[in-house]
Structure 1
């Protein structure tokens, strides 16, 4: 008998196909054992029918579902996020921001005269550098092999300290304080939780090198924006590449828009045209696992908050 799956609130044909090729059968929510939810928390069905045992969320970052009480309100239901689904494209964006910063591309773009001698001290290379990846999950694991051909070494930081393939060293988050002073550049890819709010602030920025670039492709709340602006204005670090900001959207007139050592992209590291196709692969994999009674990918930990 096929596993019954509700697909709400939108039934994109690509996702319909993903459910069916995994052996699932589309059903109404009141008759489904699983739910693939393609929107945010605002219209999430509350309460969930007792027949629903598993919910697949479309987002990798699911802090809004915790804030709304969706996950905590349903302890009997297994939730899975889209963590790792979009990792390759986000890692690619992180690399682009890092390379652009290290090579002083933003300042070159706005130059209107030949300033070779002025630019020479600002132009660096990733070759021989150490890049710290804070939150070395799916994005970090995708980024490491992108950095390797460029000659960069990676120090990975994750919650457990369990070794990450390709990293020269993996540290548990409890040893994060050791990282700042020994790295050349930082990529932040950790989940947003109360424990990670302002993970990078004035004290951490003060330990970085004056040539260090900080890249954030996680959530804006992980970085103290005011502290970053002060560090940039004082040329305390090399610069920042931010695909996410706090506040978000970043208001018009904010200093980050005009600082020459800041690159801001509007939370588009995961191109919209690739999202559904990438998510469909995760849906198919987890529907098949759910039907077979196997462990699901990216299970949400209500205690950890992601």
Structure 2
């Protein structure tokens, strides 16, 4: 059977079917179990097989008591925030393990300066993010949400005329794992695929997807019917798509962003959408998240926004937590951390 300890929403347990003894488990700090931002019970159970978990709310009630025990900080949906005050209250901390690929929410040099390693979960998020990019592209192009049938429409309004996706030109900005998988999916739509990346992909990768390398971002923007942003947020990519870049795009083009909100100048995007400089935008990321309810992007008819849900599938969430666990166990056992984020 299970034995609950302390906070019922954040507990440790024993189960005779698992061989990890309670006294052998290390301590880890998490955000919460349940709620909109917490772990699903079944995901928390993955971590509980090997760690005693303490939720942030309980931790903050007595940091002096709990702090010296915590060796791993598991970050899920950007929570708990790895603030200096929290990190300094964890003298035994060995690893900050973040779910997802991006680490722009973490001050890696500061964390490393405390003698703590940082890990993310690359690879496992690529398929679901690429799927979501295509879903956004298709939903925007074919006005899926505007055309949702509730039984009141007796004819097809002219405003629901969509944009052809098949054989259109797709420009992918950022050809890492996610960008490459977007290209794979787009090939099935017979799209002409352009890509811009810091480094050119191998000839084999280009042949496999039929993708054409654009050394200059400007060339991609001018030629594309759909532009999908799939870059990491860095100092170089912050504001990558601004007024000048938007002015180069076709007036019928759609901008799709599944990277980070700060990659796009949102004020410039609002102007471009209002003026008809570009046709539409489909965004899974904004800055901030969520947007204030009076933000102009939310009121534009040619904008589709989803709440940073590109990795939100049961299979991907499970794979992320399993990767986090793998990294956490390596850290507490003194082994190399498989997905350690190392500064260039």
- TM above 0.5, yes or no, is yes
Of structures 1 and 2, the one scoring higher in RCO (CA 8 A, sep 6+) is 1
Say whether residues 1:45 and 2:87 are aligned partners: yes
C-alpha root-mean-square deviation of aligned residues, in Å? 3.7
Do the aligned partners of 1:134 and 1:187 also contact (CA within 8 Å) in 2? yes
Say whether residues 1:175 and 2:175 are aligned partners: no
Aligned to 1:15: 47
Gaps of 5+ in 1: 20-27
Q: What is the CA–CA distance in structure 2 between the aligned matches of 1:202 and 1:227, rounded to whole Å?
A: 5
Q: Where does 1:120-131 land on structure 2 (aligned, <5 Å)?
A: 120=161, 123-131=162-170
Paired residue total = 287
Say whether residues 1:233 and 2:274 are aligned partners: yes
Say whether residues 1:206 and 2:247 are aligned partners: yes
Q: What is the CA–CA distance in structure 1 between the aligned matches of 2:102 and 2:266, rounded to whole Å?
A: 20
TM-score (norm 1): 0.76
Q: Where does 1:287-298 land on structure 2 (aligned, <5 Å)?
A: 296-297=338-339
Q: What is the CA–CA distance in structure 2 between the aligned matches of 1:5 and 1:226, rounded to whole Å?
A: 47
Which of 178, 184, 205 is matched with 1:139 structurally? 178
Q: What is the CA–CA distance in structure 1 between the aligned matches of 2:30 and 2:48, rounded to whole Å?
A: 12
Say whether residues 1:154 and 2:193 are aligned partners: yes
Structure 1 pair 181–301 and aligned structure 2 pair: CA distance change class (3 A): farther
Aligned to 2:41: none
Which of 321, 324, 342 is matched with 1:280 structurally? 321
Aligned to 2:58: none
Say whether residues 1:71 and 2:108 are aligned partners: no
Q: Considering only CA atoms, is the larger Rg found in Structure 1 or Structure 2?
A: 2
Gaps of 5+ in 2: 1-19, 34-43, 52-65
Do the aligned partners of 1:7 and 1:36 also contact (CA within 8 Å) in 2? yes
TM-score (norm 2): 0.68
Aligned to 2:272, the other structure's residue is in SS state: helix
